[in-house]
Amino acid sequence: MVKKVVLLFFVAFSVSCIGLKQNYKNTFVVAGTYLEVTSPYKEAAEVVHEEFRRLEKIFNIYDEDSEISLLNKTYRVNFRVSWELIEVLILAKEVYRMTNGAFDVSCGRLYAFWKDLTKQKDVGEFPSRKEIGKLKALCGMEYIELNPQKKTVSIKREGLKIDLSGIAKGYMVDKAVGKLKAKGIESALINAGGDIYCLGKNGKKPWRVGIKDPQQRGVLIKSEELQNEAVATSGGYEQFFEFKEKKYSHLIDPRSGFPVSNSVLSVSVVRNNCVTADSLATAFFVMGPEKIEKFLANKRYNIKVFVVSENSKGEREVRIFQ
């Protein structure tokens, strides 16, 4: 089912907590993002923080000594890794298959190249297809060989680098939720840089998550009541670079090797786990509204998707797929 609302001003999805009372609220900086924990249980924040600290030693691509960084330095080696890394790579391969390559963690060198351009903001020369082709030649999910039984990963293409930034954060949120449940904590909201999980209820009601207009601070476009559900957002409105007065998103289509060039401004996905919401939000941003609709029509998923896009008249549209 698709609903459409036309907005005559710029909107983009992000999330915020509203209506939170009588809760402990703690904020940390971990794994390169802000981690916010809200819960009536005082110990909840430290449980979540501790789990994030543990997992960032596995997934932090900017830490030379992290597990993913050490793996990326290998070639044709059966590198022994943690079960957590194996599990995320299994999930990444599944999302890659489901989305026909719109989500691809094997293109680390390609993504790093565009991230460096994004830092420049105003780019003097646009990359050529030949230059991007060389980087694309270093990708390939089929060259990441997994052995779950032995907990080993082998990179079979020299120069291939794995980038889990589109899936690891959601996975970390889910693992932290598991730790909370194990300790008998039944109510908490975890917000890891926009990847959110709502555990239990906020008092007697579900947690309320607001969808904000980023250009009008505090203005909400819509709100959702969530209980034991996650929401994740992918958008190109905050990170971009300019070339000849045109803005290019930092989000890259791994199939073309170039920045996403469809009408989408942002995508928010509501799901019962954060790792799926996180990875599909990235993939859906790449795919665009029509392919999202087709994807959801052909498969049965308990999922809700909010897509903000720009129509041919320059108006902003919010579509809700469920």
DSSP state of 314: S
The CA-based dihedral angle spanning residues 107, 113, 117, 118, taken in that order and rounded to the nearest 10 degrees: 30
CATH number, domain with residue 316? 3.10.520.10
> What pLDDT is stored for residue 128 in this prediction?
93
> Which residues of the chain have a pLDDT value below 70?
1-21, 121-123, 211-221, 236-249, 299-300
> What pLDDT is stored for residue 154 in this prediction?
98
> What pLDDT is stored for residue 14 in this prediction?
44
Q: Are 142 and 105 in contact (CB under 8 A)?
A: no
> What pLDDT is stored for residue 320 in this prediction?
87
> What pLDDT is stored for residue 8 in this prediction?
38
> What pLDDT is stored for residue 131 in this prediction?
95
> What pLDDT is stored for residue 38 in this prediction?
98
Compute the distance between CA of residue 166 and CA of residue 54 in angstroms, rounded to an integer: 19
Domain count, the chain: 1
* Strand partners of residue 27: 36
Question: Token pair for residue 59?
Answer: 């997934």
DSSP state of 262: S
> What pLDDT is stored for residue 11 in this prediction?
37
Phi and psi at 116, nearest 5°, equal -65, -40
Place of tokens 């896009």: 309
Instruction: Tell me the pLDDT tens digit for each residue of 90-132.
Output: 999 999 999 999 999 999 999 999 888 777 766 677 889 999 9
* Range(s) of the domain holding residue 314: 2-321
> What pLDDT is stored for residue 299 in this prediction?
66
